[in-house]
Structure 1
Amino acid sequence: MEKKSKKNPDCCSGHAKTVDTIHKVYSCPMKCEGEKVYSSEGRCPVCNMNLKEVNIDLNHAHDRHENIQNTHSEANGKYFCPMHCEGNKMYEKSGDCPVCGMHLVAAEVEGADDDTTYEVMKRKFRVALFLSIPVFIIAMSEFFSFLNLDLIATKYTWGWVEFVLATPVVFYSSGEFFIRGWKSIRTWNPNMWTLILIGVGSAYIFSVIALLMPGIFPDQFKDSVGNVHLYFEAAAVILTLVLLGQMLELKAHSKTNSAIKALLNLAPPIARRVNNGEEEEIPLENVQVGDILRVKPGEKVPVDGIIIAGTAFIDESMITGEPIPSEKYNNDKVTGGTINGKTSFDFKAVKVGSDTLLSQIIEMVNEASRSRAPIQKLADVVARYFVITVIAISLLTFVIWAVWGPEPAYAYAFINAVSVLIIACPCALGLATPVSIMVGTGRGAQSGVLVKNARSIEEMNKVDILIVDKTGTITEGKPSLQSYESFNKLTNIEILQLAASVDTFSEHPVAEAIVKGAKKNDIEFLQIESFESVTGKGVKAEYQGVRIGLGNKRLIEDFGLSLTKEQENRSSQKQLVGQTVMYLIVGSQVEGIISVSDKIKPTSIDAIKRLQKMSVKVLMLTGDNENTAKAVSRELNLDGYVADCLPEDKYNKVKELQEKGHIVAMAGDGINDAPALEQANVGIAMGTGTDIAMQSAEITLIKGDLNGIVRARELSIQVMRNIKQNLFFAFVYNAIGIPIAAGILFPFFGILLSPLIAAAAMSFSSVSVITNALRLRKV
């Protein structure tokens, strides 16, 4: 049972005591259910890991209305309405939406299927089916003379038998449907349950009154012996078909988040910790940052870390979407949840629990699956007026048949009006978008494409210009030192020594390349003072009271200096072959240059070609110089480039293109890309880049190459196509079904639609929408 948070009894009155306000509770280290906590030790009901002790301030917990759960109770988690009746409002308990009556969906996907609701629905369906079959046979007996039921009992007596059999179907098996319908009317949010309440409720109440008081009905409703025609079989069979549809829908819905469940199951429950050469198996949640862990052949990597001994071939396909195992050596990163090949290696744990990449992926996918795409507004607007329109059509149908229909006119009018109510299904409209988003975001995560919200999926489909950074996006982001030359009296080695000494304080990839190159040449680093990073230009410092600068031409201008023609020529020669040149300034002179080069990723050329075939123009914006940018652009056959870009230049370029009517995606991996990523219609961060870039972006590519953008574009196309198919089916289904149910074909072909067939069609519509969305799992 769920327990409420323990609170100090005086806290609400403003006189909270300071003692006993810190309470020990327990939470899952994988954050399977977000911030949910439990009151006692045990295992997580989702992933089966040992719960970890945490402390909470009960006064604050009271303010946040936190729930402390018993570990042996059923895991309730948090739930939301799939129809988004109140936006993304979350509910603490499972059940029905208080607005529309739809069954609430778990916000945090569990590692194992929770079939409780499905099993309850299946049990009720079996009871309904068992009782509805004899009701249907009794009602249809006049069409099957061989049954001879009239020889056993009178038609009036059989009416009572129908009543006894149909009533449990209405009140036991389907009672919650009528509660949902009443809620929808009370809150003025008409939906599918409103139509069932009115349609089936009318058929059942009509039959009960006809059974008890047949004399109040006109002769049109009676047979030759005065019995009024009953509709118990319609009520029972319709509700049985609705139960079948709900059961199939619940089963199909559980498959929509199968990708997230697969991700949850990636983390192994134990890890092998190495201590003084001895191995010991420990629960995954006990792994601490800094622990040395061993992974044997075929085992899963437990947490994120860095290899310190051995080599590995890691299968990262479940997270990155890349089927080819990745070779790992000393100091290479490994990711929790990936699978080791045929070797054994040791690594140091760097990120554990909710900080691991796997946990962050699961959290992001869960969040994205609950978000709403702009296209859903269309379905929301239609659904808002849909039920009212259907009720109006049903009333009009009754009037038309009652006035102009054949005898018995009122009987025809009643049955056709009920058929109109039953066949309409606004749920198909409401489910068309969210189920596709849920399946699509999960599939994207399996391919290394993390989507933050549904809006970005829709926008990615419209993108016509992609802006990419150079370093770390097009290139590997691991530049290497190429050359170092002196312009004046300093030796080449002294140029490298000064440059590397300044760059020891910088985290820029180019600085790392220069420092690494100096270490390879066994150069001794100097004591540098007053280090300062100048965004988009380079770095400044002092050595023995002399000002030193290392950066691009803009930094030279900051020092009030300029290059000679000879110096320009020497640097241009290196830039024309794609090298990045940094100028070393000492005092009031440009003393030399240092050049580095960054290899273009092997995947970049093919990815850019594929994007261009998708009608996406690819532009490169880089802080590098004109010559280097031109060389890279020519090699990749880009649609354009802009060199010498500061962060504000990238941001302004995005705005400029947007003002011209373009839908712009921006891909980058550095801190300086964050403003442009935020401004773009779709910001795409490389998973190999900085955290701030990933926070600013709406899509993150785990693998960190342009093929991920191709995948994101293809995913967007497929998801939006799937949503449009769902919406089209829902619209067309109702546009065709409602007129047929109203009897539009009767004057021409003598065809009427039975309410039973209407109920089967209504149940089929929602299931078909979900089934269509499930096709995205194979994209």
Structure 2
Amino acid sequence: MTPTPTRVTPRPQARQVELAVTGMTCAACATRVERKLGKLDGVRASVNYATGRASVEVASATDDAALLDAVRRAGYQAEPVTPESAEEPDSGDRSRDLWRRMLVSVLLFVPLCDLSLLFTALPGTRFPGWQWVLAALALPVVGWAALPFHRAALSGARRGSSSMDTLVSLGICAAGAWSAYAMFSGHEPAELTGFWALLRADGAIYLEVAAGVTTFVLAGRYFEARAQRRAGHALHALADLRAKTVTVVRDDGTRQEIPVDDLQVGQRFLVRPGETVATDGVVRDGRAELDCAAMTGESMPVGTASGDDVIGGTVLLTGHLVVEATRVGRDTRLAAMVRLVEEAQTGKAAVQRLADRISAYFVPAVLVLAVSTSVGWLLAGGTAERAFTAALAVLVIACPCALGLATPTALMVATGRGAMLGIFIKGHQALESTRHIDTVVLDKTGTVTEGRMSVVAVECLPGVERAVVLRRAGALEDASEHAVARAVSAFAREELGALPGVAEFRNLTGLGARGVVEDREVLAGRAALFGELGWEVPGDLDAVRREWERQGRTAVLLGWDGRAVAVFALADLVRPSAPRAVAGLHRLGLRTVLLTGDNAATADAVAAAVGIGEVVAEVLPDEKVDVVRRLRAQGRVVAMVGDGVNDAPALAAADLGLAIGTGTDVAIGAADLILVRDELTVVPDAIRLSRAALRTIRGNLVWAFGYNLAALPLAALGLLNPLVAGGAMALSSFFVVSNSLRLRRFAPGGWENADPSR
């Protein structure tokens, strides 16, 4: 019997959707949107209040319309973020609207406050119709200026939810309603005496409180909106680096200016002085200097010539270049950097997720506390006025806005500042890991060293001219593709210029090469090759070769007429910035380990040159991850710095992975921090920046939690004027944002004064 084949329905591919959400006013709003989106089948969402972005992973057939509808049902508006809209700076409409409402509130609040306090403290100063004067001053404030709060509160009430706007709207309405009752019913206020009476504001008229709360909250949101735009400025600055048009060079030599979006891989384009390199590519013609500061943080111009890679977004200072495009659109390095910053700013740290969960339950808890406060005062024999004052102060002081801003604003500023310095933080995990890092493992080739062979010394037999040696060695090796041969030919060409030709060239795989140069048979290669062919190697020359090899250098013999006449020493040169970088890591209290597949002699020489005391050498590429795991098993918290494909598993296995940005895409994909600047000093800079961001986040959270914990009991006990409470609430949010903005002043270097405990 033939079994019935089972039909397998392919699982839909997960996709990422980013939404711009408008109308959120606090962390509780973000949590509400997250919950609504999370109820959809196969949808996972993370909503960031500070950035106004929802990062949604859709693992089902759910379309974008369903996502937008879920956000609308939560009481907010959303639209998909496209590459074009993501690059557009904030229009500032919200800031301008907040400014207009705040300006009206301030202009009316000042005389309203003066008159209200005067009529409350000195009832004898009241004149016929005084109530209507106060009402005329207050109505535009509590009505038009506070309208966004009332709308949001009403919208939430219809859906059975609450937010910060609920507290603000209730406080304004309650203060206004009580004041109207007191003014038009003939209720006499209690007398004001002493400082505590001023703090408690034992009076019957609270119009100045209603107007003051409106003014303070509007002011807080206005400055918060401006600060958030400043915090996100780096992202817009990166997007602005992108060229809008490009001059394409056709095969027939003609030139045509086209939109950069129409540029294709393989096309060649012209870059003139002052122009931005349109996309990633390879220089095919020309020589120039590039300003790479915006992309890599390097302050000095970078020289480039035919065959060199260039990055889109850099600016040509001098010369002309013809570049062949190798990556376009979203595949370019600049586009990848923008995505890294966006993803990092949308993500949430564990501490922020905790704050968001607290905020979701905070508002209902405050409403219960306000009612309980009022009832408690009445049961204790207090007056209705005293009960109302305390409950109103509870409503006003309890804004959870600072909790929602504590982490994302600091992360926004840190990622933005890092981008300007060539440090790209992939997400919050990197910040949470850096504080505990105690060991930094550095890959040798391409990380501590330049990753290419260079001639560092030449020794010739007495009577043999150096120029002749270089000319014949350069000509022979110029015909080979081997890395050692390219280094020798480049060294000879740099000293002599033009080189002669070579005839009868033969590449001897793994040993060297031979050919005829200037009518002489020339041989270059290892000592084994000379011994195999029976060529003489003088003792003095062989002693030099052995010493260089003992030092970890690669030695290449050169000879003609059956005898070696010179020896070249080659090495993968240490990056000039490596010793300073290692010293900086040590000053931060970190242990360093050099990891390489090279022989122990070479590894020890490099380690000694840069100041690393611990070396792990002669490991195969797939064994690097085992070294990282072994260090972690010993109780160390490990950061791994690498650049190659074979470093990717170790980068992923480490507690913190740092990829050199000039490395492979695989390494970059496995890392937590991307270091674009071509200097190793960026490693201690990245760790310092991450630690500074984490300290700022923790300070913000301590302030936000501590503020509410200290202020709510004071308000409930009747020791806080609702007007003072409104000002303190706005100040709390402003403090959190301003504290985060201090990260914009982070400067590279400064390890000499670093505190290892921090």
Match of 1:370 among 346, 360, 382: 346
Matches within 5 A, 1:660-675: 660-675=634-649
* 1:469–1:622 CA contact under 8 A, matched in 2: yes
For residue 348 of structure 1, the aligned residue among 306, 313, 324 is 324
1:286 has 2:262 as partner: yes
Supply the distance in 1 between the matched residues of 2:724 and 2:109 (Cα, whole angstroms).
15
Q: Is the 8 A contact 2:18 2:81 kept in 1?
A: no
- What do the CA deviations read for 1:333-391 (whole angstroms, capped 9, x no partner)? 22222222233333333322222221211111111111112332443454355445544
Q: Please tell me whether the aligned partners of residues 500 and 525 of structure 1 are also in contact (alpha carbons under 8 angstroms).
A: no
User: What is the CA distance between 1:710 and its match in structure 2?
Assistant: 1.5
Aligned: 1:607 with 2:610: no
Equivalent position of 1:177 in the other structure? 149
**Structure-1 residue corresponding to 2:223:** 248
Partner in structure 1 of residue 168 of structure 2: 196
Counting only pairs closer than 5 Å after superposition, residues 194-593 of structure 1 correspond to structure 2 as: 194-207=166-179, 229-275=204-250, 276-380=252-356, 382-384=358-360, 386-404=362-380, 409-480=383-454, 522=502, 573-579=547-553
**Counterpart Cα distance in 1 of 2:446 and 2:552:** 15
After superposition, the Cα gap between the structure-2 partners of 1:758 and 1:503, relative to the gap in structure 1 and judged at 3 Å, is: farther
Partner Cα separation in structure 2 for residue 687 and residue 232 of structure 1: 59
Using CA pairs below 8 Å that are at least 6 residues apart, which structure has the higher relative contact order? Answer: 2
**Given the superposition, is the C-alpha separation of residues 243 and 721 from structure 1 closer, same or farther in structure 2, using an over 3 Å criterion?**
same
The separation in 1 between residues aligned to 2:145 and 2:77, in whole angstroms, is 16
1:98 and 1:183 in contact (8 A); partners too: no
Aligned partners of 2:730, 2:397: CA distance in 1, in Å? 9
- Contact 2:593-2:615 within 8 A present in 1 as well: yes
* Partner SS for 2:350: coil
Tell me, in whole angstroms, the C-alpha distance in 2 between the residues paired with 1:524 and 1:240: 88
CA contact (8 A) 1:313 1:325 kept: yes
Structure 1, unmatched stretches of 5+, are: 1-32, 37-62, 66-77, 485-495, 532-537, 540-549, 552-567, 583-592, 745-751
Matches within 5 A, 1:587-736: 597-736=571-710
Distance in 2 (CA, whole Å) between partners of 1:680 and 1:524 is: 51
CA contact (8 A) 1:181 1:194 kept: yes
Which residue does 2:732 correspond to in 1?
765
Shift of 1:653: 1.5
Structure 2 counterpart SS, 1:433: helix
* Counterpart contact for 1:436–1:776, Cα < 8 Å: yes
Q: How far did residue 465 of structure 1 move?
A: 0.9
Q: Which runs of 5+ in 2 are unaligned?
A: 1-15, 20-40, 58-63, 193-202, 459-472, 494-498, 512-524, 527-541, 557-566, 747-758
Shift of 1:673: 1.0
- Secondary structure of the 2:319 match is coil
Quote the Cα distance in structure 2 between the aligned partners of 1:356 and 1:461: 32
Q: Closer, same or farther in 2 for the Cα pair 1:687/1:84, shift >3 Å?
A: closer
CA 1:98–1:715 in structure 2 vs 1: closer, same or farther (change >3 Å)? farther
> Does the Cα contact within 8 Å between 1:460 and 1:712 map onto a contact in 2?
no
- Tell me: CA distance 1:724–1:87, structure 2 relative to 1, closer, same or farther (3 Å): same
Would you say the 8 A contact 2:555–2:569 is kept in 1? yes
Deviation, structure 1 residue 112: 3.4
* Distance (whole Å) between structure 2 residues aligned to residue 303 and residue 366 of structure 1: 20
SS of corresponding position for 2:612: coil
CA distance in 1, matches of 2:191, 2:77: 39
Aligned equivalents of 1:675 and 1:594: distance in 2?
Answer: 36
Alpha carbons 1:580, 1:625 under 8 Å: kept: no
Answer whether contact 1:79 1:106 (CA < 8 A) is retained. no
Aligned length in residues: 631
Give the TM-score of the pair, scaled to structure 2.
Answer: 0.72
Query: Structure 1 88/281 Cα, relative in aligned 2: closer, same or farther at 3 Å?
Result: closer
Which amino acid is 1:766 matched to? S
Q: Does the 8 Å contact 2:345/2:415 carry over to 1?
A: yes
What amino acid is the match of 1:761?
A
Matched residues in 2 for 1:503 and 1:692: separation?
A: 29
Distance 1:97 1:599, change over 3 A: farther
8 Å contact kept, 1:463–1:616:
yes
Give the superposition deviation at 1:310: 2.8
Distance 1:417 1:683 in 2: 51
Structure 1 segment 92-171 matched on structure 2, within 5 A: 109-129=86-106, 132=109, 135-142=112-119, 148-150=125-127, 152-153=128-129, 158=131, 162=134, 166-171=138-143
**Aligned in 2, Cα 1:146/1:177: closer, same or farther, shift over 3 Å?**
closer
Question: Cα gap change, 1:100/1:639 in structure 2, threshold over 3 Å: closer, same or farther?
Answer: farther
Match of 1:767, as an amino acid? F
Match among 736, 739, 742 for residue 775 of structure 1: 742
Task: Report the Cα distance in structure 2 between the residues aligned to 1:232 and 1:338, rounded to whole angstroms.
Answer: 57
Q: Alpha-carbon deviations, 1:410-439, whole Å to 9, x = none? A: 211211221122112311112111111011
Q: Which SS does the other structure have where 2:326 is aligned?
A: strand
Checking the alignment, whether the CA contact within 8 Å between 1:80 and 1:104 is kept in structure 2 is no
- The CA deviation at 1:694 is 0.9
Using a 3 Å threshold, how does the CA distance of structure 1 residues 772 and 99 change in structure 2: closer, same or farther?
A: farther
Distance 1:571 1:410 in 2: 98
* Larger displacement relative to structure 2 (757-766 or 106-115): 106-115
2-structure distance, mates of 1:80, 1:384: 13
Aligned residue number for residue 32 of structure 2: none
What amino acid is the match of 1:725? G
Distance 1:472 1:417, change over 3 A: same
Asked if structure 2 preserves the Cα contact closer than 8 Å seen for 1:367 and 1:453, the reply is: yes
Alignment check: 8 A CA contact 2:439 2:592 kept: yes
* SS of the residue 2:246 aligns to: strand
Matched, 1:738 2:715: no
**Separation in 1, partners of 2:292, 2:53:** 39
SS in 2 for 1:706: coil
Q: CA deviation at 1:258?
A: 0.8
- d(CA) in 2 for partners of 1:453, 1:661: 24
- 329-338 or 169-178: which moved more? 169-178
Q: Matched residues in 1 for 2:69 and 2:122: separation?
A: 49
Q: 1:598 to 1:318 in 2, by over 3 A?
A: same
Aligned-partner SS, 2:339: helix
CA RMSD of aligned residues (A): 4.7
Tell me the amino acid that sits aligned with residue 202 of structure 1: A
Distance in 2, matches of 1:82 and 1:648, equals 42
Identity, in percent, stands at: 33
Please identify, of 467-476 and 244-253, the stretch whose mean Cα deviation from structure 2 is larger: 244-253
Could you report, residue by residue, the CA deviation over 1:655-688 in whole angstroms, capped at 9, with x for unpaired residues? 1222233221111111111111111111111111
Q: Note if contact 1:669-1:693 (Cα within 8 Å) is conserved in structure 2.
A: yes
Q: Please give the alpha-carbon distance, in whole angstroms, between the structure 1 residues aligned to 2:568 and 2:602.
A: 14
Query: Deviations for 1:43-102, whole angstroms, at most 9, x for unmatched residues?
Result: xxxxxxxxxxxxxxxxxxxx999xxxxxxxxxxxx9944169998449987999865979
TM-superposed deviation, 1:638: 0.8
93-102 or 364-373, larger mean C-alpha shift: 93-102
Deviation string, structure 1 residues 723-778 (Cα, Å, up to 9, x no partner): 1221222233223333333347xxxxxxx432122111111211221111112112
Partner SS for 2:574? coil
CA distance in 1, matches of 2:307, 2:340: 28
In structure 2, relative to structure 1, the CA distance for the partners of 1:625 and 1:137 (3 Å cut) is same
Corresponding residue for residue 9 of structure 1: none
Tell me if the contact between 1:100 and 1:190 (Cα under 8 Å) persists in the aligned partners. no
Conserved? CA contact 2:149–2:166, under 8 Å: no
